[in-house]
Structure 1
Amino acid sequence: MSYALTEEQQLIQQTAREFAQEYVGPVAADIDRTGAHPAEIVQKMAEHDFLGIFMPGEVGGAEAGYLSFALIIEELSRVSGAVASILINHAALAAYTINRWGSYRQKQNYLPALCQGEKLGAFALSEPGAAPGAGEYKVVAAKDGDNYILNGRKCYIANGGVAGVYIVFALTDPEAGAKGMSAFIVDGKTAGLSVARNIEKMGLRGCQSAELVFENVTISADSLLGAEGAGMAVATDAQAVASVAEAAMVVGIAQAAMDDAVKYSKQRIQFRRPIASFPAIQTMLAEMATNIHLARLAVYDAANLIDSGRPFATEAAMLKLFAARIGQSALIDVIQIEGGYGYSQEMVVSRLYRDVKGAVIKASSMDFPEKVIAGALLA
């Protein structure tokens, strides 16, 4: 790898690799099989400062930067996409949003607990059956004196049901549509907030997804993040940041799949020689390695832009577009290389394929990255 990582970043990368092998690897298959939330691993991540790795020191973070976070996500994803997804939704969405948009008081009230693993974070944007703020179950926040009262539903919320802190997007001006959406911090134990159901997924199964019900959930006006009507700006910003981590996740999953295919192709004998000697196999592996290498460099570059405070939305959109293509194509090629074995549940590739699809299918305003990229080119 030619990208110039600092000594600290290399140490964090190595620590994350050893962590994944020691704590996550032995239970990764069980997490996928049962779909159970791996609370013990989350606590271990907190002990290793993973939960607040890029958060400021004054709120308990490690101040190691977003590139260090991306390195951790990549290493975790090579072993378990579900564990990496838990961390992305906690840190790159929930904690990041509070740190970026929250008041001093909000940061002091919530970020130390999020960094130390006392509470897990979640990002509650999606709603059943329609875009946020547009459907029958849209969440509306009605002002009532010094409080807001929330009613409605959120769906497919990662870390839902196990999170202690939710970033909730609700309409403060329903007539204005998306322009009337605002962001709030809601404690997971607030009266009226409940889990309607846990949603079984094809992949990333240890990262629980839930449908949340808000029934007269009363929160103070101090829970508002930023200004009223700034909700979509908050969501777009956070999702762009998360897109970089999600691309790192795709890189990690694809790397693990390629490593497995390389090992298999050296061992599988056809026509009295390993299939690794066949030009068709070599071509697939070469294209795979090239795409993974380029995606990794792009992840590191975008993460550096975030760390330096420079604009990164276009690069994040490019990453989302490229990672979605190379992640799925890599896993399809790996299954092709491994043949019937790759298609069986006995091989790790089955789980990796299901996880990489979950990494690239997540709904967001970045679902159409071409629009973001073209907009930057034509501005």
Structure 2
Amino acid sequence: MSYALTEEQQLIQQNAREFTAEYVAPAAGEIDHTGVHPAAIVAKMVEQDFLGIFLPGEFGGAEAGYLSYALIIEEISRVSGAVASILISHASLAAYSIYRYGSAAQKQAFLPALCQGEKVGAFAFTEPGAAPGAGMHKVTAQKEGGSYVLNGRKCYVANGGAAGLYIVFAQTNPEAGAQGISAFIVDSGASGLSTVRTIGKMGLRGCQSAELEFNNVIVPAANLLGAEGAGLAIAAEAQAAASIAEGAMVVGIAQAAMEDAVKYGKQRIQFRRPIASFPAIQTMLAEMAANIHMLRLAVYDAASLLDNGEPFANEAAIIKLFAGRIGQSALIDVIQIEGGYGYSQEMVASRLYRDVKGACLKNSSLDFPEKVIAGNLLA
């Protein structure tokens, strides 16, 4: 990769590659088979400072920057999209939200536990059957003295049931509609908070998804994140940051799939020669390589913008749009190259396809990426 990575970033990338080979690769198939949250691997990631890699040292982070974090996500995703998804939900969504919008007291109270792995973070935004704050199960937050009382349900919460801390979005002002949504920091042990069910998924299976119920959950007013009504702004920025990380996830998954197809193409003999020598196969591989390269550059550029404190929402939307297209097309072509073997569970392509589809679907932004991009063009 010719992108100008610093020596530190190259070392972090190499460390992530070695870590993944030693700890994640041997368990990747079993994680996918069982769908169980891999607590032991998460504990190993804590030892490597992965959970707080881009956060400041004063909160227990490694201060290595968001680009370094994207490099880690890319390397982990080459082996397990599920493990990468756990890290994204924890770091890009939960920890990032507190870091960007939390008060000084909130950062001191919650970020060290997230960086040190004492608590895994999660982002409770989606609600059953409707947009947040709109359906029959919407989560509401009623102010009562020095606390808020939360009621309702959240669904498809990544890390749900395994998390120790949730960023929960709740309606505090029904008359304001979506603009009346606020964000709260909620401990998983809060009375009245329960996991209704875990939700089986096609891919990213080790990143546990759950439906949560809030039954008169009392949250101190001090745990309001940002101001009342700031929920959508917080969610939009966190989801944009997550889009960069998810772009890195797609890069990693697609890269692994392409390398598997190249290996297979060299070994599979048809008409007395390797199928990799056929022009149709070479065209598919070339298009994969070009698309992966362009997405990787886009991810690194957007991560650098975030590190430099520059606006990145438009670039994140471009990544979301492009990653969704090239990730799925790459895996379809890989399965086509590998034929019946690629479709079988004996080959890794089937898992990579299921995982890349999840990477493109999860944490969809509040606005479609096309809307964000066009809005910036027409502003």
| Same fold, TM-score > 0.5, yes or no | yes
Q: Per-residue CA shift, 1:215-259, capped at 9, x if unaligned?
A: 000011001000000000000010000000000000000000000
Q: Which whole-Å CA distance do the structure 2 matches of 1:26 and 1:220 have between them? A: 43
Q: Which whole-Å CA distance do the structure 2 matches of 1:137 and 1:178 have between them? A: 15
Match of 1:369? 369
Which residues of 2 match residues 19-30 of structure 1 at below 5 A?
Answer: 19-30=19-30
Match of 2:236? 236
1:79 equivalent in alignment to 2:79? yes
Alpha carbons of 1:112 and 1:16: their partners in 2 closer, same or farther (altered >3 Å)?
Answer: same
Q: Which whole-Å CA distance do the structure 2 matches of 1:356 and 1:163 have between them? A: 23
Q: Which amino acid aligns with 1:347?
A: M
Q: Which amino acid aligns with 2:167?
A: I
1:286 equivalent in alignment to 2:280? no
Alpha-carbon offset, residue 367 of structure 1: 5.5
Q: Per-residue CA shift, 1:74-98, capped at 9, x if unaligned?
A: 0000000000000000000000000
Name the SS for the 1:152 alignment partner. strand
1:56 equivalent in alignment to 2:64? no
Q: Which whole-Å CA distance do the structure 1 matches of 2:366 and 2:30 have between them? A: 32
Q: Which runs of 5+ in 1 are unaligned?
A: none
Q: Which whole-Å CA distance do the structure 2 matches of 1:16 and 1:158 have between them? A: 23
Which residues of 2 match residues 82-161 of structure 1 at below 5 A?
Answer: 82-161=82-161
Q: Which amino acid aligns with 1:344?
A: S
Alpha-carbon offset, residue 174 of structure 1: 1.3
Q: Which amino acid aligns with 2:33?
A: R
Q: Which amino acid aligns with 1:7?
A: E
Name the SS for the 2:50 alignment partner. coil
Q: Which amino acid aligns with 2:333?
A: D
Verify the 8 A CA contact 1:25 1:80 in the aligned structure 2.
Answer: yes
Name the SS for the 1:26 alignment partner. helix
Name the SS for the 1:148 alignment partner. strand
Q: Which amino acid aligns with 2:336?
A: Q
Match of 2:275? 275
Q: Per-residue CA shift, 1:22-71, capped at 9, x if unaligned?
A: 00000100000000100000000000000000001100000000000000
Q: Which whole-Å CA distance do the structure 1 matches of 2:356 and 2:367 have between them? A: 16
Q: Which whole-Å CA distance do the structure 1 matches of 2:368 and 2:59 have between them? A: 35
Verify the 8 A CA contact 2:141 2:171 in the aligned structure 1.
Answer: yes
Alpha-carbon offset, residue 363 of structure 1: 4.5
Q: Per-residue CA shift, 1:135-176, capped at 9, x if unaligned?
A: 010000000000000000000000000100100000000121
1:249 equivalent in alignment to 2:252? no
Verify the 8 A CA contact 1:82 1:207 in the aligned structure 2.
Answer: yes
Alpha-carbon offset, residue 205 of structure 1: 0.2
Q: Which whole-Å CA distance do the structure 2 matches of 1:267 and 1:3 have between them? A: 32
Verify the 8 A CA contact 2:77 2:252 in the aligned structure 1.
Answer: yes
Runs of at least 4 residues off by over 4 Å: none
Q: Which whole-Å CA distance do the structure 2 matches of 1:85 and 1:265 have between them? A: 30
Q: Per-residue CA shift, 1:295-344, capped at 9, x if unaligned?
A: 00000000000000001100000000000000000000000000000000
Verify the 8 A CA contact 1:240 1:366 in the aligned structure 2.
Answer: no
Q: TM-score, normalised by structure 2?
A: 0.99
Q: Which whole-Å CA distance do the structure 1 matches of 2:364 and 2:212 have between them? A: 18
Match of 2:198? 198
Q: Which whole-Å CA distance do the structure 2 matches of 1:169 and 1:223 have between them? A: 12
Q: Give aligned pairs, total.
A: 379
Alpha-carbon offset, residue 364 of structure 1: 2.6
Q: Per-residue CA shift, 1:98-150, capped at 9, x if unaligned?
A: 00000111111110010001100000000001111110100000000000000
Verify the 8 A CA contact 1:70 1:245 in the aligned structure 2.
Answer: yes
Q: TM-score, normalised by structure 1?
A: 0.99
Verify the 8 A CA contact 1:123 1:157 in the aligned structure 2.
Answer: yes
Name the SS for the 1:51 alignment partner. helix
Q: Which whole-Å CA distance do the structure 1 matches of 2:4 and 2:192 have between them? A: 50
Q: Which whole-Å CA distance do the structure 2 matches of 1:201 and 1:169 have between them? A: 23
Q: Which whole-Å CA distance do the structure 1 matches of 2:14 and 2:366 have between them? A: 31
Q: Which amino acid aligns with 1:264?
A: Y
Q: Which whole-Å CA distance do the structure 1 matches of 2:26 and 2:13 have between them? A: 20
Alpha-carbon offset, residue 365 of structure 1: 2.7
Q: Which amino acid aligns with 1:32?
A: D
Which residues of 2 match residues 167-206 of structure 1 at below 5 A?
Answer: 167-206=167-206
**RMSD between aligned residues:** 0.6
